[in-house]
Each structure stands twice: as structure tokens, then as C-alpha cells.
Structure 1
Amino acid sequence: MNSAARFTALFPPAFSALAGMDVRLLRLLDAVLDEVHLARAAARVGLPLPAAASALERCRQLLRDPLLEDGGAQMRLTATAQALREPLRLALAGDANAPMANPSQQLPSQGAVVQRVRILMPDYPAQVVAHALYQELATAAPSLDLEFQTWLGDADATARLERGQTDLVLGSAAPSGQVRGREVLQERCVAVMRRDHPAAHSLTLARWLSYPHLQIACHDTLNRMIDEQIAMQGLRRRIGMVIPNFLMAPALLQGSDLIAVMPMHCVPAATAAHPVAVALACLRPPLPLEAPPLRLLQHRRYAGDADDAAVALVAQVLERIVRQRFDGR
């Protein structure tokens, strides 16, 4: 019986994706679940670490599960991963003596992986995803470095991507020309103000425009959309203060009558670092305004081949983390 037939017989429907997985992926997956450590698993099956990281990411996508999660002092298996261990071993038992194909035929070699990936995104979501991204890649590809560059807006980020000055952009600009991208989060806009703001209980268009607005300069796409919507109605708003990033917003909003409009994921959650966030009100803006989707952008020079393995790996992990952290906000 071949591997696909064994998986069909042994696994419940939830694990049917395993039936179509290459035996090399299955062997790496078995080693990862046994070692609970990617580097040791890679050494065990004879794969370069970056290639093993790429293969593990493919397994995660096919199974729709992270498989490994932060357990504090060390990584631990998810519930899905634990359920896979014994059936996976049984299914692979018939292939134990089969020769291992050369992984370099389909998986990138360690020498092909660049050492640094440059990323551009606003401070939110960067503050939320940076730690998780580093933590996972430190285990999956410890020789890979990350560089978070200074965000100056969607237009600047797209231009730098086209010039080859950055590798990945997480922002609201639309793909065009040599820039390709995919949507990773569809957001909603909210009007944010202190919870006891005079307009917090009845935010009409007239009341919204009667108060000074806080504009976050780094979100140039959203700012342009707001101004266009207001101009279409023959109205104007007063920009009481312009700030460069989202991190400054909570304290300013809490201590004034300023009102800001921002994507929900950019409203800091109430934490020790942002204790005032809990005292902010988030309301529907009083005009038809849809938040621009959050997109992951790359230049078409990154076509997913072996030479771009590091960029592809970071993009895969980053997209998954964004979806996990912000979905439903």
C-alpha cells in the first residue's frame, strides 16, 4: 500500500491533507514531532536548517496548524501535532527502508538562503508581530537576520520595494507594476477618542467635524481616503495635531478632545505598555469609510525560487502570525 493509501486508511478526515504530502515532508514532520525542535529534526533527516524551516512551513499550511507553539522555556506540540504522532509513525513504517531523495531537488539549500531580510511596516502592527516573528525564526532559521526599517508611509514603502531597498512590505498600498501582493487582513476603521469624550455617545458627522482630529502621518493611504470622502460632501475637518506613528496616539487621545480614525488593529490593546488603551472608545466613523486591507507586498524579483528562500520563509511566517494575532479584532 502506498503512502497516500495508508494515510487515507489511518487518519480521520481532519488530517486528509497528509495524504498528498511528499514522503520527505512526512519524514521531517515525524522528526519535528519527535524532537519538538526544528534544528535537531533537520539534522536527523539530513536537511539544511533553512530548507527544513521551509518544509515545516509547508506542513503547517497544509495542516492549517502551527504544530509547535511557545511553551515558555521551550517549544511544545499543539493538540493537533500530538494527535498526529502515532498515526504518522505507523504510516511511515512501511517506508522506513526507502532511500531518501535528494532534498536539494525541491527544497532550497542552506547556501541559497540570504542572511538578512528587510521588512517595512508601521509601528502597529510591528509592535505586535515582531517578537513572535523573531522567536519563531530564531528556532526555524537561526542564521537568518531581520531588519525592521523605518516606516514613512505606503508610497515610500512601495518605492523602496521597487528600488530593491527592502524585501517585504506589510501595508495598505495596492499591488502594481513589479510589485505583487496578497491581502492578509481585511480591517475596519474606527473613530477613537477618550471614553468620556462629549461625542462618545452620539458621533454624528457634524459632531465629529466639530472636534479637532489627530492624524497619524504614517498611514497615508487611510488619510487620503478620509480627506477624499469629506471633500466629496463639500466639508472640511480641522487637523488639531499630526503625529508620526500610532504609538503616540493613546496618551494624546486620553488627555484631550482629539479624535482619530484608524484601523482597528492599530488601536493598542490594553497592556502594561499602554494602560490608557482601556479608557479609549472605538466607534463607527460617521461616514461610509472602509479600512484599506492590510497586504503583504513583494517585488516580482522574488518568485519563490531557491535564491529567495529566506524572503519566502519570512513572508509565510509573517502572514500566519498576522492572521493569528489580528483576526477578529
Structure 2
Amino acid sequence: MENMDLNLLRALDVLLDEASVTGAARRLGLSPSAMSRTLTRLRSTTGDPLLVRAGRHLVPTPYAADIRERVHALTRDVQAVLRSQHRELDVKALDRTFVLRANEGFLNVVAAPLVTAIMKEAPRVRLRFAPKPDKDALPLREGRIDLEIGVRGTSAPEIRSRLLFRDMFVGAARIGNPLFLNGDISVARYAACHHVATSRRGAFKGPVDDALEQLGYQRTVSVVVPGFPDAIEIVRQSDLVTHVPRSCLANLSDDPAAISRLRLFQLPVKTPEIAISAMWHPRLDADPAHRWLRDRVQAVCQKVPGSGLIL
């Protein structure tokens, strides 16, 4: 098997179809002598003459006549397997389930418009959103997740990614919170507040704490919740403050009651920019359907930062 030349399969298909060395040579762009040598190789490989002379013409042997249709089908299948994947995708007929993994804050903002966009173009496509307890790349490697949305980790260098949008942390507290009583929010007054932190792992420290420590300050984290929507709900009904990605507040602009009880502010410390990416395993890189999904996700996400909320 390791010495098999698939070019012989193509040559055999054309020879059996033409029943002529000259005709087969013309179709394959070879000289008649090269085609004759190929027929000799085929005869040696199969142990059968394949084409024999009958007057001025060549006719197939019984074995050649018997395998002609099989050879043609095999040639067609091999060409289909080896053909470039840059083919036209019939999105309307696409019948497939895609599994996406993202955190709750992202889903609150993006899930609805993404589903609308997908269903409009591909009504037979199904989406399953999976929880994201961590950044483990194993589900991507094992094929249990088709696409992951979030901040890229560093544990899986082979994972492909595409930047969707850049985000930033903003502060949030209820209107009437004592933090807003004395003008500009200083680092000292901000650090003196009781805070709600968000962490899937239950961590009490994060980027804001690192920035505060560089300036010689330390804040008090009184509550840790797993998702940003939980943090927003707590600060709306208490004197605690929190920080969340700006994108998580995008859908609040459509809820006057919610936004009327919440005030956003620029953090008095500088935190790293958040790069939100789509991630997938290389096995799906050239898949037309998956490429279409990636494009749709990116198109929806490009509208996320424009929430209309003014700090």
C-alpha cells in the first residue's frame, strides 16, 4: 500500500474509457510513449493485459470490462477527497449542530442577536451553548466544543483564534451610592469602598487589585460571584461597587428601569484591555461550515461595543 501510485488509478480510468493509448495520452497531457509505459506498469501491477489489440483497435479484457465502473467510481471518490475545500457552501441546506462555549456575560449580550443571524441564513442549523467553567483547551482538542469565545489562554499553542473585539473594564454602582457624593472618584475613595468581584474560580483578587497595589492601595472585596450579571444586580440594590466589561452593559440601554438605577464610571486605575477572541481547533480551520459560523460570530460581535452608554 505504501508504494501505491494513485496516478495509475486515474490513468487506468482514462485508458478504459478511451480504449486507446493515443486518446488517453491526449486527455492526460502525456506523450503516446509515456502513456504506453503507463499501460505497461498497469499490466504489471494488475497481472492482466487490460487492453488487447483487435484489428486496428484495442478492446478490454474481461477483467478490464468488469472493473471499469469500479475504477471510475474510485477515481471520482479520490478526487473528491483530495479536492480543495474552498467550495460553495449551501447555507440554507446546512444541517448541523454547533457547540459554542462562552461565559454568561457574553451570552447575555450576544446570544440573542447571534441566534437571530444564524436562523435567518441557516434555518436548519442548531446551536448549543455550553458553560465555561475554565479556559481548558481539552474540549476543543477532543471536538466536544466547536467554537469558544473569550480571552485566549496560553495552555494550547495550536489553537487558532480570531480577534472579535476589544473591551475594557468600567466601574458600576447604584445611583445614590456614597462614592458619588464628593465629586471626582479618587483612587483612595474607590479603594475604601466595599466591592463585588466576579470570578469563576472564586478568586478575591484580580487586575484591579494588581493596579491598586502598584499605587499602594488595597480594596475590600466583600462578595465574589461567578458572573457579571450577578455583580450588577447586587450593586444596584446595595452600596457596594463593582467593575465589569463594558460590553456586558450593552443590553442595559434597552432597559430604562435597569439603567435608571445604575451609574457607570471610569475606573481611577488603569487595567489591561480585554481582547475577546473566537477560538477553535485546527481540524476545523478549512471546514466551510465552520468558517461560515466564525464569520457570523464576528459580524455580530463587531456591533457589541457600540452600546450607547456614556460614562
Does residue 1:280 correspond to 2:259, yes or no?
Answer: no
CA distance in 2, matches of 1:182, 1:268: 22
- Paired position in structure 1 for 2:273: 291
CA distance in 2 between counterparts of 1:294 and 1:219 reads 19
Deviation per CA, 1:270-308, whole angstroms, max 9, x where unpaired? 36767323321111111111331211111222212xxx3
Q: 1:230 aligns with which of 212, 217, 222?
A: 212
Give the C-alpha shift of residue 241 in structure 1: 0.8
The answer as to 2:177 corresponding to 1:177 is no
Note if 1:194 corresponds to 2:174.
yes
- Residue 196 of structure 1: how far off its partner (Å): 1.5
- Work out whether residues 250 and 276 of structure 1, in 8 Å CA contact, stay in contact via their aligned partners in 2: no
Residue in structure 1 matched with residue 125 of structure 2 by the alignment: 144
**2:151·2:275 contact (CA, 8 Å) conserved in 1?**
yes
1:262 aligns with 2:244: yes
Most deviating of 268-277 and 289-298: 268-277
Say whether the 8 Å CA contact 2:161–2:280 is kept in structure 1: yes
Tell me, yes or no, if the aligned pair for 1:187 and 1:264 is still in contact at 8 Å.
Answer: yes
- Contact between 1:129 and 1:321, CA under 8 Å: does it hold in 2? yes
Deviation at 1:320, TM superposition (A): 0.5
> Mapping of 1:33-182 within 5 angstroms?
106-108=87-89, 115-152=96-133, 155-156=134-135, 158-174=137-153, 176-182=156-162
Match of 2:11 in 1: none
Q: TM-score, structure 2 length as denominator?
A: 0.62
Asked if the contact 2:204–2:221 (Cα under 8 Å) also holds between the matched residues in 1, the reply is no
Question: Considering only aligned residues, what root-mean-square deviation do their CA atoms show, in Å?
Answer: 3.2
Note the residue ranges of structure 2 that are not aligned, 5 or more in a row.
Answer: 1-83
Task: Indicate if the aligned counterparts of 2:95 and 2:125 stay in contact, CA closer than 8 A.
Answer: yes
Q: How far 1:146 moved relative to its partner?
A: 0.3
Give the structure 1 partner of residue 235 of structure 2. Answer: 253
- d(CA) in 2 for partners of 1:181 and 1:220? 27
TM-score by length of 1: 0.59
Shift of 1:237: 2.1
Secondary structure of the residue aligned to 1:171 is strand
**In 1, distance between residues paired with 2:288 and 2:298?**
15
Q: Residue 73 of structure 1 aligns with which residue?
A: none
Q: CA distance change for structure 1 residues 163 and 273 in 2, over 3 Å: closer, same or farther? A: farther
CA contact (8 A) 1:158 1:173 kept: no
Structure 2 Cα separation of the partners of residues 135 and 172 of structure 1 = 24
CA distance in 2 between counterparts of 1:220 and 1:279 reads 27
**1:219 offset after TM fit, Å?**
9.1
Partner secondary structure for residue 294 of structure 1: strand
SS at match of 1:185: strand
Write the distance in 2 (CA, Å) between the matches of 1:287 and 1:267: 20
Unaligned runs of 5+ residues in structure 1 are 1-102
Q: 1:220 to 1:287 in 2, by over 3 A?
A: farther
1:173 is displaced (CA, Å) by 2.2
Pick one of 298, 303, 311 that aligns with 1:319.
298
Deviation digits for residues 35-63 of structure 1 (CA, Å, limit 9, x no counterpart): xxxxxxxxxxxxxxxxxxxxxxxxxxxxx
Partner of 1:4: none
Q: CA deviation at 1:125?
A: 2.4
SS in 2 for 1:199: helix
> Identical aligned pairs, as a percentage?
18
